[in-house]
Chain A
Amino acid sequence: MITVNVREEKADVLIIGGGAAGCYAAITLGEEHPGLSVLLVDKANIKRSGCLAAGVNALNAYITQGHTPKDYADYAKEDAAGIVREDLLLSMSEGLNEVTAKLEKLGLVIQKNPDGSYASRGWRNIKINGENIKPILARAVLDQSNVKVRNHINVVDYIAADGQIRGAWGIDLRKEEIVLFTARAVICATGGAAGLYQPNHPGTSRHKMWYSPFNTGAGYAMGLRAGAEMTTFEMRFIALRCKGTIAPTGTIAQGVGAPQVNSRGKAYQAKYGNTTAERLWAVVKENLAGHGPCYLSTHGISLEQAAALERAYLNMAPAQTLFWRESGLNPSEFDVEIEGSEPYVVGGHTASGYWIGADRSTTLPGLFAAGDVAGGCPQKYVTGSFVEGEIAAQSAAKFAEGVAPNFDSAWIKEKIIRQVQQFLGQDNDSPYTVESLEEAMQQAMDEYAGGIKTYYAYSESSLKIARKHIERLTQLSEELKAKDFYGLLKIFELRERLLVCQALIEHLAARKETRWHAFAEHLDYPERREDYKVFINSKLEQGKIRIIRRPLAAGKEEAVV
């Protein structure tokens, strides 16, 4: 048996994940609760970790003049065909402009109109230079004297005791030891889940995807294992992207007003509706009808516009600019081909994630959630994640006051060491590798749970097969062995994804309707059904996912079971 060292660290508030939500939570606790000690733990380095690593092209959630937070909440509700928590959407929307002003103060460049207001791109987006948004956030976090940052530590599971979450443990990838964090309150901000489905380019460019391939659904998996209630995993997110580079399309569509056209040069969007899901579905349908590939019609834009697009893409998705230059397909002359990505589970865009109260408390006492892991509040994007980080920070600070500072964690140490040792070893008896199981998982999800191969559609029969594959692969993953801590990370990531897949399949099966085309395309139930105007929630119980239906009016009272 390989000996593993355990290090212990203690704080009043533990934040897991240093992306948009986690960093903003840390800044809030630093500025407004300087008496509390805070630990912010990230699997990489907060300077460039998470889905904002490359930058971001715009702030997509902002209330411009003449609009109200209620308008934003209404828009998000309509886009999600009603399956949202309006209380969460409102509290998020009400904070959008304040956090934006704060980011500008911290150094984010935002374009201004002559009157000093922010220059908008549509009624709810503003123009920025978001290339350095993570370094700006990281610097602000490091400026807080009561916040300690721990980089390159991958958190694996929560520590629960006396009916509440009292911390978490993880693996330090640099020092190759276990770290046990105890706290009086915990904020989960680990992001959503990528890598569940076979990606657009399964070979050399398997990680050239929309969402960060390093966001593995850890927060969802940890929550499920600890008994938290989750919501709306079945509202998957599928991004409409530039072909190959998987770069954003919004910059082109909204920036230069390029409509979607098919290979015959016909605009088709109006036939399918204009929600986020419908814009993607339109491409699927046109391809199926033999009118593909589809494009954003950019030909005819000026060379100045094309040059501005090139610069904008360098600030968030440099592959696209390189592609334009290298291929000679300048957008002023050639339309930009588009395609759908593989599906993700991501609560910043759709409503998937922890079932939370207005204060961002989860159903587990002591645990709060913000950003892409938090459910019920779609279209929150970067600024909405900041707001949720702020709310979760205030709630966690308040909760921590009532919790004893000291906590004896000795009893749990041996159990954690055994969990790590199970997967550590030089000799691997199993012929299976993490990579082979991951590929098998992605293939099963692709073929039987509505991936790219089946045009995002699935049926009860296909979900049954997907379920069997995920069960089989989960069993096989028990036997995996890693030689070092990076290998250990890969095993834990795979197991997180398998558990998220298990829950996702049950959610897809439970919503016996097609409420959102492509996002949840159920071939046995191709229409919307009145009796499915409910939340599909779930809990993991004795290894099985139990589905819970909750009314749309549900607020915090119903959230706490």
Chain B
Amino acid sequence: MSIAIEAAKCVGCGLCTEVCPGNLLQVKAGRAVIRDVRDCWGCTACVKECPRQAIYYYLAADLGGRGGRLYAENTKNEIKWQMYWPDGSFDEIVTAKGEANKY
């Protein structure tokens, strides 16, 4: 269970290193890196914090992962959760911040 950082998109702003509850992220040579993917809790705080959508979340192989990548575009009123699949297709689910969970 972990996140991955796309070096090509990362600008090394360090916002993700601020919010990781496990102090797992660092900026090294101008890019964010994770110390050890096995230590990620999967909270997605960094995914939601990244202004460049350079961080995605994935299910590791031991959790049934099939290569899907979950990104989040975090705006003032909603979060657009984008799931990219290995075949090139993608799904989007929008959660409105002003709306409570139905369940």
Contact = CB atoms under 8 A, between A and B. Distances in A.
Interface of A: 43-45, 47-50, 53-54, 57-58, 109-111, 119, 121, 127-132, 151-152, 173, 201, 203-209, 212-214, 244-245, 251-252, 254-256, 308-312, 314-315, 318-319, 321-323, 325-327, 486, 489
Contacts of A213: 22, 39, 41
A151 B19 CA distance: 10
Given A109-B97, A310-B93, A244 B23 contact: no
Nearest to A132: B97
B30 interface: no
Interface in B1-54: 1-2, 18-23, 35, 37-45, 49
Given A53-B45, A109-B99, A256-B103, A318 B70 contact: yes
8 contacts: A44-B23, A45-B19, A121-B103, A205-B2, A314-B79, A325-B83, A326-B59, A489-B23
A373 to B, nearest CB: 17
Contacts of B99: 109, 129
Contacts, number: 171
Given A214-B41, A322-B70, A311 B1 contact: no
Contacts of A204: 1-2, 37-38, 60-62
B47 to A, nearest CB: 8
A217 to B, nearest CB: 15
Nearest to A110: B100
Given A44-B21, A204-B38, A314-B81, A127 B93 contact: no
Given A131-B79, A245-B63, A44 B100 contact: no
Contacts of A58: 101
Contacts of A57: 101, 103
B63 A173 contact: no
A54 B45 contact: yes
Contact of B101 (A49, A54, A251, A319): A251
Given A48-B21, A319-B42, A205 B1 contact: yes
A188 B70 CA distance: 36
A255 B103 contact: yes
- Give the dominant DSSP class at A's interface: loop
Contact of B43 (A53, A128, A151): A53
B3 to A, nearest CB: 11
A323 B81 contact: no
Contact of B57 (A53, A110, A214, A322): A322
A44 B24 CA distance: 10
A131 B44 CA distance: 11
A208 B1 contact: yes
Interface in B46-101: 49, 57-66, 68, 70, 79, 81, 83, 85, 91, 93, 95-101
B95 to A, nearest CB: 5
A203 B37 CA distance: 11
